[in-house]
Amino acid sequence: MPFLSDIKAQIARQINEHLGGEYAAPSDFVRPDNPDFGDLSLGCFGLARRLGRPPVDLAAALASDWPAESPVASGQAVGPYVNFQLSTVEMAAGVLEEIYTQKDLYGENVREGGRRVVVEYSNVNTHKDYHIGHLRNLAYGDAVQRILTAAGDTVFPVSYVNDFGGHTAKTLWGLRLFAQGPGPAVDKGYWLGQVYARAAAAAKEDPAAPAAISRLMKEIESRQGESYKQWQKTRQWSIDGFTAIYQELGVNFAQIFYESEFFGIGKALVARLLAAGQLQESAGAVIADLGGDGLGVLVFIRSDGTALYPVSDLPLALEKRKLFQPDKSFLVVDERQSLYFRQLNRLLAALGEEQAAITHLPYAVVKLPEGMMSSRSGNVISYHDLRNQVLEKAKTETSARHPDWPAEKIDNISWALAKGALKFEMVKVGAGQVITFDSRQALRFDGFTAAYLQYTCARIRSVLRKAAGEEIAQEYCQRPDELSPGWPGNLREVREHRLLFSLASYPETVQAAAQACDPSLLAKQIFALAKDFNDYYHAIPVLKAETAVREARLRLLGAVRQVIGNGLGLLGIDGLDEM
């Protein structure tokens, strides 16, 4: 059990012994909004109601007479609340030992009885550009699956690529109209997305375009002929581009599904549902009339005979259940698709497949300062362009700071900074918050950014290096034998106490982020920890402190570095030792 969870259990047990029954639980203790009020707070309303006592009187009674062996240093009643201050010595000894023992695993496997979980994300379209809206999906989904894994779940990250829709036919139409030839030698997927945007704009002005594009889609669906061959070739261009992005961002999937794999299965399922009366024909189309459930109409087959997403999405849900037998199946798609997934789950229930139901993890859109983005209109920030812009800025900053570094080292550090900026901007706020993407904010090297956190890691490493040399700095927290007995008593500052409590809270933050599928909780926690450390380091001497105090403070710094690095890792970002 993590240190802080164990402390809460001890306090609850001591309260229950005092009251003579099972009244308090570890989950009853919360962190006061103002840390000056204490480390933990207990509201006495429920306890007082069960005991038939006034809440204020009960709080006063619980605030006093704590036994010497308790981890509580002091209790204070504030109206119907009891605020507890934990022992700094207890925290220093317990939390730091836990961090030094577990290292990279600190904060992980804190949930008992882990589940089998599928997290589906990065459901991109072939033949379209990969832009910053897709980047938010990718960063969010990847962080969620990492955090769920850390919390103790067995997670299967998967992706589903839409490679068989009308957009593919529109791109092929555009290629034949104004992009003849083999295309560029490199970045063909990126180029193909530009072709799609141009084709989408041209189709609006050409009355003959809808019929031509529909005809192309039918030829692709027939899986034969020149149109199908061209679809196969250009589809691979997109897939190669996606693979390159995943590799450079450190994203891995247990399996990638493709819409085209489920098209035939889906058509057979549609026929079965039609025969069972669960789908209906309407004006030449095939629909699910879900109006009786307040879910409107879901179209499966258009009147021209071409298929829409539900034809493949329904058998995909069944296949995921068959392959992974999940207790929970999450799907990361933007919030505008919420109705669609309610419709899909209604149909799964009608099939008796409630276990295949989808839990939608919605997120808000990414906007430009000028307004909404759209692949069709071409007013997007391409991942390709954004990546190069951020990387160039990182190289400029790194080269200016370290003109003596070799090119390879500059490249490696610069990419770690660029990758951190790209990902962190997408997960540092809650999924429901619209992001207006401003490259100036994304490229900042201070404030609430990945670079600030990476800088803090590098700064601590530098302090340890100055204190102990490179080799010892590498494994600084493995040296408990070199600390004098009673060393936790050398951490007496209020700022040290707050750092220790923040370190102790980290496993619970991982658990909360997993429970809410909210990486921003973790981002905010490690940012607050970094900020508190930098304030502490400016105010309290470390290297110039007397020997015993210096050693204890260096030990505290090593733990801060470890926890910030662990948190960054769960967001898919590298901590740095130099920058």
Q: What is the pLDDT of residues 93-149, one digit of tens each?
A: 999 999 999 999 999 976 667 899 999 999 999 999 898 889 999 999 999 999 999
Domain assignment present for residue 448? The answer is: no
DSSP assignment letter at 356: G
Q: How many helices (H) and strands (E) does the chain have?
A: 20, 14
- Quick one: pLDDT band at residue 370, thresholds 50, 70, 90? low
Q: Residue 290: inside a domain, yes or no?
A: no
DSSP for 455-485 reads HHHHHHHHHHHHHH-HHHHHTGGG-GGGSPT
- Counting other chains too, the contacts that 526-531 makes at CB distance below 8 Å and 24 or more residues apart are 526/453, 526/563, 526/564, 526/567, 526/568, 527/428, 527/448, 527/452, 527/453, 528/502, 529/499, 529/502, 529/503, 529/560, 529/563, 529/564, 529/567, 530/452, 530/453, 530/456, 530/560, 530/564
Helix axes of 494-516 and 88-102: crossing angle, nearest 10 degrees = 50
Which two structure tokens, joined as six digits, stand for 505?
Answer: 């809270």
For range 548-569, the mean pLDDT: 95
Q: Domain for residue 22, yes or no?
A: yes
Q: How far is the C-alpha of 566 from the C-alpha of 570, rounded, in Å?
A: 7
When pLDDT is averaged across residues 542-552 and rounded to a whole number, the result is: 91
Partnered with residue 119 across adjacent β-strands are 157, 330
For residues 502 and 95, give the distance between their C-alpha atoms in angstroms, rounded to a whole number.
Answer: 10
Please check whether residue 561 lies inside any domain of the structure. Answer: no
| Closest residue by Cα to residue 524 from 472, 466, 564, 477 | 564
Residues 160-175 have a mean pLDDT of: 94
The pair of structure tokens assigned to 192 is 């193909």
pLDDT (0 to 100) of residue 470: 56
* DSSP H helical ranges for 123-165: 132-150
- Mean pLDDT check: name the lowest of 116-125, 398-407, 426-435, 436-445: 436-445
State the pLDDT confidence band at 444, using cuts at 50, 70 and 90: confident
**Phi, psi angles (nearest 5°) of residue 42:** -125, 120
Domains in the chain: how many in total?
2
Domain around 82: 3-86
pLDDT band at 513 (very low <50, low <70, confident <90, very high): very high
pLDDT of 311 higher than 90: yes
Q: List the end-to-end C-alpha distance of the chain, in Å, as a whole number.
A: 36
CATH of the domain at 51: 3.30.1360.70
577 located within any domain: no
> In terms of pLDDT, which residue wins out, 578 or 468?
578
Residues 41/30, Cβ–Cβ less than 8 Å: yes
Q: Tell me whether residue 105 is in a domain.
A: no
**AA letter at 254:** A
Structural domain ending residue among the three candidates 48, 68, 86? 86
Q: What does the alpha-carbon distance between residue 66 and residue 63 come to, in Å, rounded to a whole number? A: 8
**If pLDDT is split at 50, 70 and 90, which confidence band does 382 have?**
confident
**Could you identify the residue written with the tokens 């009643």?**
77
| Res 274: pLDDT | 93
Q: What is the largest CA-CA distance in the chain?
A: 86
How far is it, in rounded angstroms, from Cα 21 to Cα 568?
42
Q: What is the rounded CA–CA span in Å between residue 167 and residue 124?
A: 12
What is the four-CA torsion angle of 123, 128, 133, 138, rounded to 10 degrees? 40
Which DSSP symbol is given to 127? T
Q: Which of 252, 277, 295 is the last residue of a domain?
A: 252
Q: Does the structure show a pLDDT above 50 at 480?
A: no
pLDDT tens for each residue of 193-221: 989 989 999 999 999 999 999 999 999 98
Within a domain: residue 553? Answer: no
Task: Report helix, strand or coil for 572.
Answer: coil
Cα separation, 577 vs 17, in Å, equals: 48
> Per the domain annotation, does 375 fall within a domain?
no
Q: Which of 252, 282, 314 is the last residue of a domain?
A: 252
The answer to whether 31 and 39 have CB atoms below 8 angstroms apart is yes
pTM of the model: 0.93
Nearest-angstrom CA–CA distance, 62 and 56: 10
